[in-house]
Amino acid sequence: MPKIFQEEHGFLFKNKMELIALLSSGKGTWAQVSGLMKYGEWDKILLLGSEFAKTFTHEKPFEFIQVDLDQKLVALKEEFSRKLKGKIDGMEVALSLASGNGKEHMSLVSALINLPVGVRFAALTREGVIDL
């Protein structure tokens, strides 16, 4: 990432942290997740998705957590909560919502907040991985 961008915007993650990303539907959204994994420096990577998302591969190690994304809002939030409990080591996580829909996003954010864990949104831009 250009040094000037870093100095002007300060959007870079200051410390390594855990990346949590949803792998769902949406053309090209898995590429965003793959780029975040590749260009970010993460302590741990947790990917959540349906049975189909198990086909996702990457050169960096990650843990895949299978969930039923077809559930209703509250049931999905509860499944996210159950499956994430005990998996997060830090006080906050970097979260990618590049993939998925509103129901999935709301369920995942709610589950994380109720664990409780702080959430920082991560995005991959031309300048690199940024903290929104």
Q: Please give the pLDDT value at position 27.
A: 66
* Domain enclosing residue 73, as ranges: 3-131
Total-model pTM: 0.86
Q: Report strand pairing: 92-96 vs 128-131.
A: unpaired
Residue given tokens 């509103």 in the structure block: 102
Tens place of pLDDT per residue across the chain (132 aa): 444 444 444 455 556 799 999 999 866 789 999 999 999 999 999 999 999 999 999 999 999 999 999 999 999 999 999 999 999 999 999 999 999 899 999 999 999 999 999 999 999 998 889 988
Q: Please give the pLDDT value at position 107.
A: 98
CATH of the domain at 110: 3.40.50.10770
Cis status, amide bond into 116, omega within 30 of 0: yes
Structure tokens at 76: 């999905």
- Provide CB contacts within 8 A for 85, sequence distance 6+: 115
Structural domain count of the chain: 1
Measured between alpha carbons, how far is 21 from 99 in angstroms, rounded to an integer? 8
